[in-house]
Structure 1
Amino acid sequence: MAPERQNQDVFYLEKISRQFTGGIAIEIAMARIRLRDKILISGPSGCGKSTILGLLSLSLRPDRGKIFLCNQIDILDKWRLNRRDDLAMIRASLFGFIPQTAGLIPFLTLQDNILLPQHLIAKQDQSWFEHLVKRLEIASIISKKPHEVSVGQRQRAAVARALINRPFIVLADEPTASVHPSLADEILQLLIETVAESNSALIMTSHDTQRTLKYGLTEVACQLDPQNQTTRLVCNV
């Protein structure tokens, strides 16, 4: 069961680090996120922005540090005890993720793709589903499969899927990278508004910093140290 939504830190990280082969390292000195925070992680291509999202999404195990969700769930303890099922359930119930290219399952309809996170945690909220597909203007195409709709429509479906469980945290990895610039503002506007409606925190990456910051996000820039191949992030809002 998800913790109560209170005005508290929903996500707290301290001194997180992960070493990769070749000497490359990712460090998160501090990250404190509350509900309705909107964070943009910026930085040059190849600096590790997507890898940082992997750590934040609990998909990559840090070598050391502290991660707490809602001041009560010790994520590093779950990793130490190899509680992968617990981690998977936390990701499904408390997180929503939007990959760069929508990441929809090709043999499922848009409706089944959107509802899949609810099935994973045995949840049903038909009214919220109907609200999302109407709000994102895809209600008329939800019976179609991903290859039958446009790139922009697939991204909208990915936004709906990420929000279907009303997650505490939405992680978006370059959500407009695969769409034409004429669609980027539309998708960003819908993403920001629907995240606000679900009372979630948003953490996203983007190569288009100037465009994204128009929507009220707080920029946190990756600090790349080329000498020791380390990317460092400090996010204390």
Structure 2
Amino acid sequence: MGLQLSLQQVQVWLADRERRFTLDVPELSIASGEAIGLTGPSGTGKTLLLELLGLLRRPSAADTFQVTSEDGEMNLAEVWTRADTSPAEVRAQLFGFVPQSGGLLPFLNVAENIALSGRIAGRSHPEWQATLIDQLGLGDVQRLHPPALSIGQRQRVAIARALAHKPAFVIADEPTAALDPDAAATAMGLLIDNAVTGGSGVIISSHDLTLLNQFALRRVALSLISAPGAHDALSRLAEQEAP
């Protein structure tokens, strides 16, 4: 049995003087080795949802927010208040992240950037890292630093770094937005294939429906339930049939 990330009746509330925004997740599950595409118009909270899943954002309310394995359950909603651990420690163990910009450290070379996630998590997999470098076509540039790379190469490095410590789950926020269509399709395929091969569940946020439609992904979508421009805005997640 692999790991499963499960949410039921989870919400995040944001508010200022002019507006209140509620992200509502009635139900969501992500299993090891599963790939999910997340869509939704701008302003529906896609990045907010990914921050919630990756423990970068504390839930405002949660009936169930946990990771389950054959060894038991971990209540992720409680990591914010427990004295024996922290969200950062749990995040490093469970998650890998592929940001839109790549987020590489310019003073580290490609191989060092990829190895960074394992160093942070205290979990190094040299053979898997070498496989990722080979599969992602980075062998010839692994001693170069990020400024010497193309945008596509930098994004492939970010994918390898997210996968290098074999996380249970990978969270990718518009990972191909800066790439041309051909490079985007290549990078997306590499991300999905290598995540599944490594046993990681992956959720990928993208506005590019044409790109997502090229892959066999389970789909979830955010949509505004409230009236446009409402003072109390509500965005809700729902399963979506694949095209």
**TM-score higher than 0.5 here?**
yes
Give 1:174 shift. 0.7
Match of 2:5 in 1: 11
CA distance in 1, matches of 2:121, 2:212: 32
Q: Residue 69 in 1 paired to residue 63 in 2?
A: no
Match of 1:125 in 2: 125
CA displacement, residues 11-32 of structure 1 (integer Å, 9 cap, x when unaligned): 0111111111220111111112
Give 1:190 shift. 0.8
Aligned pairs (5 A) from 1:1-237: 6-7=1-2, 10-21=4-15, 22-65=19-62, 66-70=64-68, 72-81=73-82, 85-227=85-227, 228-235=232-239
Give 1:213 shift. 2.4
Give 1:107 shift. 1.8
CA distance in 2, matches of 1:13, 1:82: 23
Give 1:210 shift. 2.2
In the alignment, structure 1 segments of 5+ residues that lack a partner are 1-5
CA RMSD of aligned residues (A): 1.8
In the alignment, structure 2 segments of 5+ residues that lack a partner are none
CA distance in 2, matches of 1:162, 1:151: 17
- Mapped contact 2:221–2:240 kept (Cα < 8 A): no
Give 1:82 shift. 6.2
- Mapped contact 2:34–2:196 kept (Cα < 8 A): no
Segment drifting more, 33-42 vs 154-163: 33-42
What number of residue pairs does the alignment pair up? Answer: 230
CA displacement, residues 119-170 of structure 1 (integer Å, 9 cap, x when unaligned): 1122222111111001100011111111110000000000000000111111
Instruction: Give the alignment's TM-score, normalised by structure 2.
Output: 0.89
CA distance in 2, matches of 1:82, 1:217: 38
- Mapped contact 1:39–1:202 kept (Cα < 8 A): yes
Instruction: Give the alignment's TM-score, normalised by structure 1.
Output: 0.91
CA displacement, residues 61-118 of structure 1 (integer Å, 9 cap, x when unaligned): 01110211125111111123366x5321221121111011111112221111111111
> Which amino acid is 1:29 matched to?
P
The percentage of counterpart residues that share the same residue type is 31
Could you say if the C-alpha distance between residues 24 and 42 of structure 1 is closer, same or farther in structure 2, counting changes exceeding 3 Å?
same
What SS does the corresponding residue of 1:128 show, helix, strand or coil?
A: helix
> Which amino acid is 2:220 matched to?
V
